Homo-oligomer: A and B are copies of this chain.
């Protein structure tokens, strides 16, 4: 028997559940015949290490039909995500507002990878401080500033220099922290 309601975890989509950076790298490497890897990014965003005149291509990829729908799962995420759902009340929280055209594809992505995930627990929002949850796992520290629960920073190249929040390097770390 559990005591009281289950704790709530809100989990970000891009760079946490979904390997969005891998998708950007694949598109970029294909177009420009390069072989940039995540390791090459060090603590930078992809946009920061490519020639300035190519940066607009990243936005073009994100606005192209099929981009968000075909993002691969983050390695290790499905099993731990399923275990979290057994023990916690899990929300998927994604800041879709930067590319509003991604709403439908992100919804389809969730339904394809987690067919039994309830619509009621999907949240599209711009500022995740509006989410009422005990924990938030996210790669963007800006969401933690006004968040009422405990934020956990999911490691991505762009956030490697961030030191203010407890960090989860990968989904094995998520399991160790929460399960």
Contact = CB atoms under 8 A, between A and B. Distances in A.
Interface of A: 8, 10, 91, 96-98, 100-101, 103-104, 107, 118-127, 129-133, 148
A126 B121 contact: yes
Given A97-B120, A100-B107, 7 more contacts: A103-B107, A121-B126, A123-B123, A123-B125, A123-B130, A125-B125, A129-B132
A122 B132 CA distance: 15
A132 B133 CA distance: 8
A32 B103 CA distance: 34
Contacts of A125: 120, 122-125
A148 B124 contact: no
Contact of A132 (B98, B118, B130): B130
Contacts of A101: 104
Given A101-B104, A103-B103, A127 B120 contact: yes
Contacts of A107: 100, 103
A97 B118 CA distance: 10
Contacts of A104: 100-101, 103-104
A100 B102 CA distance: 12
Contacts of A118: 126
A100 B110 CA distance: 12
Contacts of A131: 130-132
A132 B103 contact: no
Contacts of A119: 97-98, 100, 126
Contacts of A10: 130
16 contacts: A8-B130, A10-B130, A91-B130, A96-B124, A97-B122, A101-B104, A118-B126, A120-B126, A121-B126, A121-B130, A123-B123, A129-B132, A130-B132, A131-B131, A131-B132, A132-B132
